[in-house]
Structure 1
């Protein structure tokens, strides 16, 4: 199996300890897939500062293919993280850095390359809503992380071009989550996944709802928990589809795989470690 993250990368700058860690939804997906034993690649936009160089070196060390990435002069994307009443919270950033002035425009060469993978994963922070139809037209599966930044307009634009939609729903009640996931599938996605923080996750496959409780651990850092949950879930699901596992059983075992891996991620600083001083 081969998968690719297409879109955002950042460094998460932990202001209270002056350490920065590689991250970003699309990049995290690629790294977690590699950790789970799957061949993974990443396509995104780097700056040329210390943060960008650290991310590039990290991905090279992890043997993740970045041969189709772009690099431009300027500041790499970063998010600032601080400690507020004992919880790590995002307090700002630079809105993607050079990715803003040099957004990803997928060329035919890119698409020929992407077509060699089984799934491409992107996110709302990648600035790629207008490019998703190109991914869909390659014929491979496309997944997309909306995080909490979704509304009806965004869902209407994106869902027709996305097979698997991931949404952060910790702020919603159970009935609201079910309504949201139903809407997402009605707009074109074949599967919708809502992560609910400490309440776990919910999946709707267009027919049935499935729920998963989290694996409880004493977390070191919850950053990346949602990304790692989704990565383990979708890889388990894709593997099961190959051998024609019963759909309901497959979703249940994929949810369990996601919960297990997310718990492991919570025991690591940053999304997946590799911190350096800044």
Structure 2
């Protein structure tokens, strides 16, 4: 296991992230290629990534005490993948380094307009299954919030939720993979973009009848979620719960790279909830953190700490 002994100060609440750790290989190009087309690009730099790691770093930088449950390999990508988790003070006691295994790798292509496409190779993340998660149950039961994504095996996802029976669970099911219905419905909130929301509704057997964000959010509530946060990119976000639907504005910025902006939002949302913030207020802050994250290349290197001056709506 990997030890980490330099947590950031002034933190409130505890968050355990059960998720993926990747190295991100970045390629920059004027536009995304069409099928069968070859384009010249630039870059080739390797940065830290993985949706789980991204969200953990974002939350830690925003003041949460974060513990990570995950896995890495023992290849050249391992140290770049761990760099920001370590510097942000995330507790890596429950991260195991597997011999003769590759660390998760994401190949990210970023166009000049800031849009990205990503292909993920799971590597060691595939080991974060039910057996692995069960062996690290203490990190889950001791947390105030447990945060999950869709980049670990489905049985590991379910084991984490089972272990969090008395703990608030937040899920950003990205990518949208097939998971146990009852486990998924424990999410409070479920965080999704519009495309993911439609896929989640299909998985739950309640296909969307409208692509309007308000209708999607209400459909997710009707499907059984206690609360919903839809991320809408430049249009902000939408919070839905028993109190109704609340539109969340986002700052108007000119993005340089949108990679990991949604993860910055998710991590910042959790950090705010740990301070006692209401869901809508947490989403307002998270939208500013997410906007800030688009102003610099890369995912984790772009995340602001709690002292950063964030863009205003």
TM more than 0.5: yes
Q: Determine which of 249, 259, 267 is the counterpart of 2:287.
A: 259
Q: Determine which of 64, 67, 72 is the counterpart of 2:90.
A: 64
Q: Determine which of 18, 33, 37 is the counterpart of 1:6.
A: 18
* Aligned ranges 1:75-90 → 2 under 5 Å: 75-84=102-111, 86-90=113-117
Residue 161 (structure 1) aligned with residue 189 (structure 2): no
Residue 22 (structure 1) aligned with residue 48 (structure 2): yes
The CA deviation at 1:170 is: 5.8
Unaligned runs of 5+ in 2: 1-12, 28-41, 199-208, 303-313
The CA deviation at 1:57 is: 4.1
The CA deviation at 1:174 is: 7.5
1:233 partner SS: helix
Question: Partners in 2 of 1:102 and 1:113 — Cα distance?
Answer: 14
| Paired residues of 1:221 and 1:266 also in contact (CA < 8 A) | yes
Question: Partners in 1 of 2:293 and 2:210 — Cα distance?
Answer: 25
1:4 partner SS: strand
Question: Partners in 2 of 1:104 and 1:268 — Cα distance?
Answer: 36
The CA deviation at 1:198 is: 1.5
Residue 44 (structure 1) aligned with residue 70 (structure 2): yes
* Aligned ranges 1:135-154 → 2 under 5 Å: 135-137=163-165, 139-147=166-174, 149=176, 154=179
1:92 corresponding residue in structure 2 = 119
2:234 corresponding residue in structure 1 = 198
Q: Determine which of 259, 262, 267 is the counterpart of 1:231.
A: 267
The CA deviation at 1:155 is: 7.7
2:81 corresponding residue in structure 1 = 55
1:245 corresponding residue in structure 2 = none
Q: Determine which of 301, 305, 310 is the counterpart of 1:273.
A: 301
The CA deviation at 1:238 is: 3.5
Tell which deviates more after alignment, 16-25 or 127-136: 127-136
- With over 3 angstroms needed to count, the CA separation of the structure-2 counterparts of 1:134 and 1:48, relative to structure 1, is same
Q: Determine which of 137, 141, 149 is the counterpart of 1:115.
A: 141
Unaligned runs of 5+ in 1: 242-249
- With over 3 angstroms needed to count, the CA separation of the structure-2 counterparts of 1:59 and 1:175, relative to structure 1, is closer
Question: Partners in 2 of 1:140 and 1:105 — Cα distance?
Answer: 20
- With over 3 angstroms needed to count, the CA separation of the structure-2 counterparts of 1:90 and 1:236, relative to structure 1, is same
RMSD: 2.7
| Paired residues of 2:23 and 2:49 also in contact (CA < 8 A) | yes
Please identify which structure carries the higher helix content. Answer: 1
